[in-house]
Amino acid sequence: MKKIFFLLVALAMFISQLGIVVFAQGRVDHGLITGSKSGSTDWFVGSAKRGAAATTGGTAATTALVNHGGPVMNAPTIYIIWYGNWNQTNGSDNPAGQQIIRDWAANIGGSTHFNINASYPPNGSISGAVAYGGEATATGTSKRLSDSAIKTLVSNTITSGKLPKNANGIYFLVTSSDVTASSGFCTQYCGWHTHATISGSDIKYSFVGNAKRCLSGCAAQATVSPNGNPGIDGSISVMTHELEEATSDPDLNAWYDSSGAENGDKCAWTFGHFQYTVANGSFANVHLGSRDFLIQRNLMYSNGSWFCMTDTGHN
């Protein structure tokens, strides 16, 4: 953990704070919500400010994302690795919650949201397509996973043949809310992505915990959410963030800015001006398949500048 820094972004009408933490082994973290729950900023739609949309964020161009020359993923494949107890009665860690994640994985590719990544030059380097390659369950008794334990779980899932070994894959280890990650889930980050050599291949993987464990830190809507599961709905925004970063910076040597921020980091915890309410009163901004989601914005390249966008047509 040699390099820890925080980036403060002052937006036109809002103040967003997001933490970016880059660790020595190259793990790139997606920071926590750190804004105040009170005052004039519109953090936290749920109990803190019911009826208000999630933080919109500014519309001005951001500092540039820079291509450092490393590879990007043209059309990655998502794999899901479940860990923990997904048969709980807490309304979140259950088969219905897992289905929300599957539906996200199956429908994020080619969406107007994910196609933001296809704006990065040179044209065609990132296609906007994403495949869903399937799921597996990793078993273990630990409820406090170290970074190395997470790597081992991913590695064992591949070497045992539960999931194919695919250097074009992004493997998401998703934990139930009774499980944490000892390097700082809920205290330092909501998720992270990295890569490692596993069985001779460069494997990209990500850890994302169920945001139910710390709704105030890792979910924009803590009481109601588009799919009636604030923990999983919060995790979906984090998973999208990590997917977009793993696609544009899979080996941590491609797209990031002069401060080390990847695309998702530069738009973290901002949800744009295209939010709408769904039947239960929660806010959403992206429709994928048959579901609505509230997903943070991502960075789009347009005419030489970079903007946080909800999708390719809305900021």
- What does the binding site for Zn ion look like in residue numbers (CB under 5 A)? 30, 264-265
Residue 20 CB, nearest distance to Zn ion (Å)? 7
Nearer to Zn ion, 30 or 113 (CB): 30
Residue 28 CB, nearest distance to Zn ion (Å)? 6
CA distance 224 to 281: 7
Nearer to Zn ion, 32 or 203 (CB): 32
Nearer to Zn ion, 195 or 291 (CB): 195
CA distance 218 to 231: 8
CA distance 138 to 289: 27
Cβ(287)–Cβ(275) below 8 Å: no
Nearer to Zn ion, 163 or 214 (CB): 214
Residue 265 CB, nearest distance to Zn ion (Å)? 4
Residue 294 CB, nearest distance to Zn ion (Å)? 17
Nearer to Zn ion, 91 or 260 (CB): 260
Cβ(204)–Cβ(250) below 8 Å: yes
Residue 264 CB, nearest distance to Zn ion (Å)? 4
Nearer to Zn ion, 191 or 231 (CB): 191
Residue 236 CB, nearest distance to Zn ion (Å)? 15
CA distance 303 to 90: 47
Query: Residue number with the shortest CB distance to Zn ion?
Result: 30
